[in-house]
Amino acid sequence: MLNKLLKHEFKDTARIIPMFYLISLIFASMVLSAKTLDIDWFRMTTSFVLLLLGIAVSIVTFVVIAMRFYRNLYSNEGYLMFTLPVKPHLLLAAKGIAAFFWMLLSYGVTVCAFYISLYGFGLTGELSMVMDQLKIYGMEKVIYLFVPMMILATLYLLGQIYFAITMANRPAFHSMGGAAAFLVFIATNVILQIAEAIFAIFVPFSVEIDLVENIGVSLTSQNMFGYLLESMKGAEPTTIVIGFGGYIFEIIMVCILFYVTSRIMKNKVSLR
């Protein structure tokens, strides 16, 4: 049944999201053509538009995903969806998998749009210099952490969005109308940010970047609290300590958010 739900979910979302990919592709082609033909004003203009499109693609994808989740489950369509012989957690899983796929694809489009925009602006040389500097300091492998961090951040944000929309459709929030989901999301996000900061500072699991001798990166059982104390005392730091506790917290909360959302969908949701 999950396969059927996924097929339906991809079919519906594919009507909107790829259109923005196509628009980005058209402008990317314009940038490359203007660069080849050496038309400066057109190259600069299309590069700027492509840069904005790169930002817009990921934002619009999140908006479409959130609106799709609400309309499909908690508007009039919800009366049909919740009468299907499917457990609520499968509905949530199908939407989560499809949303995760589109977000990763949108990130890829955004990265490509940024790079082609920089190429159009003639700034790719500066990007190469940054990479060379990372290699000099032995930190070129740090960039590989970017992909799992983005994956985790995407799941974390999706969990908060789905939780907020689902929580806002409990009977207690009906009087607040459409603002309920936004307020629940803000409140949830603030609380989680505070808790994540505490984990990042006090959990003894960090990455230490040596700034003095053999410049490099290593794992350490030190937490960020001592490093922050030294910084506040005005001492010149010889290392930078970045706590991993926040990422551990995010992994735990992704599981909790999706689990709690599925439980609320099963027992406590009331459609308007």
The segment with the largest mean pLDDT, out of 74-88, 123-137, 190-204, 250-264, is 250-264
Query: Region 168-185: what's the mean pLDDT?
Result: 80
The residues near 172 (Cβ < 8 Å, ≥ 6 apart) are none
Confidence (pLDDT) at 232: 65
- Of 151, 67, 145, nearest to 105 (Cα)? 151
Q: Is the pLDDT of residue 235 over 60?
A: no
Average pLDDT over residues 25-49: 87
Q: What per-residue confidence (pLDDT) applies to 268? A: 58
Cβ-count burial 168-184 (b if 16+ within 10 Å, e if not): bbeeebeeeeeebbeeb
Q: Inform me whether the pLDDT recorded for 209 exceeds 80.
A: no
pLDDT-derived band at 258 (thresholds 50, 70, 90) equals: very high
Average confidence (pLDDT) over 65-93: 80
User: What pLDDT does residue 121 have?
Assistant: 79
| Torsion region of 261: left, alpha or beta (phi above 0 gives left; psi -120 to 50 gives alpha) | alpha
Which range of 4-8, 238-242, 264-268 scores highest in mean pLDDT? It is 4-8
Q: Which residue has the higher pLDDT, 215 or 209?
A: 209
Write down the residue that tokens 């033909």 correspond to.
37
Mean pLDDT estimate for the chain: 81
Average pLDDT over residues 87-111: 90
Mean pLDDT check: name the lowest of 48-52, 72-76, 79-83, 157-161: 79-83
Model confidence band, residue 170 (pLDDT cutoffs 50, 70, 90)? confident
Residue 243 corresponds to which tokens in the numbers above? 């706590």
Cα–Cα dist 153/267, whole Å: 28
pLDDT, mean of residues 59-75: 87
pLDDT higher than threshold 60 for residue 227: yes
Contact 121, 34 (CB under 8 A): no
pLDDT digits (tens, 9 = 90+) for 114-147: 888 888 877 766 556 656 655 655 555 666 677 8
Please state the pTM of the whole predicted model: 0.82
Q: In this predicted structure, what is the pLDDT of residue 212?
A: 59
pLDDT for residue 193: 93
Q: What is the pLDDT of residue 186?
A: 93
Let me know: does 39 contact 94? Beta carbons within 8 Å: no
How many residues in total does the chain contain?
272
Please report, as a single letter, which amino acid is at residue 238: T
Contact 228, 126 (CB under 8 A): no
